[in-house]
């Protein structure tokens, strides 16, 4: 699999700016707990060694859904609270009204003002405009890891947390002011598909703009048989 980037790419040029914005909007991001850091370190070493951790399987689903990620049928359950992996990709700062709907994009922060020097540094081809608002995006279209193949459900078994990793940490992890990690929301049983909701409660910001109704599925709609073949059960409404 070509998507082998363990962790997001946050260019040095924008690191300080992202850190400053996280501090300003600090209710969005939680400082990583010891358990998060331990889980993150373990997940990163699995991705570095194997790209796709050995207890997971990537399969084509049918129904125009592309690929999906499953817990292998010979694996132990994943317990609630376990870190699955960080959602990796490339972080950029873009004008908020520039359309960039890749389907693999998280908007991490929005409503950001850049001063003249910052705009000159980040968008030298555009004239300075003091009122222009920017967003910080994380996109896994071109680079990412297996988490980019995790599909959407309104009955997910995963949840996304926004965490920050301090420079001093027991696992020697590179510091990150903001990062998305996927965590098990409940026990995930062998053979089940890993699913996450792309939208927070009440929002319609992922599927709405494209006017698409997502295919309704739960972790058991597609499962892996004991011999690792995808089997389709019933969907949900
Ligand atoms: C982050 S990708 C997930 C991986 C994708 N299946 C693939 O093979 O690249 C998001 C895209 O997957 C598809 N997708 C994910 N969940 C879906 C769902 N419940 N219904 C329909 N399409 C879905 C949509 O095309 C969506 O834009």
User: Which one, of 177, 178, 150, lies nearest residue 78 by Cα?
Assistant: 150
Structure tokens at 85: 């992996």
Q: Which is the closest atom of ligand 1 to the Cα of 215?
A: 20
pLDDT tens, 3-16? Answer: 999 999 999 989 99
Supply the residue whose CA is at minimum distance from atom 9 of ligand 1.
Answer: 149
pLDDT tens, 122-146? Answer: 888 889 999 999 999 999 999 999 9
Q: Which mutation among 2, 63, 103, 220 tests ligand 1's pocket best, with the greatest number of atoms within 8 A of CB?
A: 103
Kindly tell me if the per-residue pLDDT of 234 is higher than 70. no
CA distance 29 to 151: 23
Kindly state the average pLDDT of the residues 56-81.
Answer: 97
pLDDT tens, 197-208? Answer: 999 877 888 998
**Confidence (pTM):** 0.95
Q: What is the DSSP letter of 73?
A: T
Kindly tell me if the per-residue pLDDT of 195 is higher than 60. yes
Supply the residue whose CA is at minimum distance from atom 25 of ligand 1.
Answer: 65
> Band of the pLDDT at 110, cuts 50, 70, 90?
very high
pLDDT at residue 28, rounded to an integer: 82
Kindly tell me if the per-residue pLDDT of 150 is higher than 60. yes
User: Mean of the per-residue pLDDT values for the chain?
Assistant: 94
Supply the CATH classification number for the domain 12-232: 2.170.270.10
Supply the residue whose CA is at minimum distance from atom 13 of ligand 1.
Answer: 65
Environment class of 62 (CB within 10 Å of its CB; exposed 0-12, middle 13-18, buried 19+): exposed
Ligand 1 pocket list (CB less than 6 A): 65-67, 103-104, 148-149, 151-153, 214-215, 217
């Amino acid at each position: 699999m070509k998507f082998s980037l363990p962790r997001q790419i946050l260019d040095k040029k924008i690191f300080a700016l992202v850190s400053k914005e996280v501090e300003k909007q600090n209710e969005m991001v939680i400082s990583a707990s010891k358990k998060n850091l331990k889980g993150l370190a373990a997940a990163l070493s699995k991705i570095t060694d194997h790209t796709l951790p050995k207890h997971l399987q990537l399969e084509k689903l049918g129904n125009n859904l592309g690929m999906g990620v499953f817990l292998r049928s010979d694996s132990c359950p994943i317990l609630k609270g376990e870190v699955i992996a960080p959602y990796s990709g490339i972080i950029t700062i873009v004008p908020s009204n520039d359309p960039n709907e890749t389907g693999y994009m998280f908007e991490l922060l929005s409503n950001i003002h850049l001063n003249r020097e910052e705009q000159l540094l980040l968008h030298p081809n555009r004239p300075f405009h003091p009122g222009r608002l920017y967003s910080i995006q994380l996109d896994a279209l071109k680079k990412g890891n297996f988490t980019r193949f995790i599909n959407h459900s309104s009955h997910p078994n995963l949840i996304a947390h926004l965490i920050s990793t301090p420079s001093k940490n027991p696992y020697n992890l590179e510091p990150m002011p903001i990062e998305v990690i996927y965590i098990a929301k409940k026990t995930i049983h062998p053979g089940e598909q890993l699913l996450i909701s792309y939208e927070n409660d009440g929002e319609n910001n992922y599927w709405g703009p494209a006017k698409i109704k997502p295919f309704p599925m739960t972790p058991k709609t597609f499962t892996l048989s004991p011999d690792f073949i995808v089997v389709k059960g019933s969907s949900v409404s």
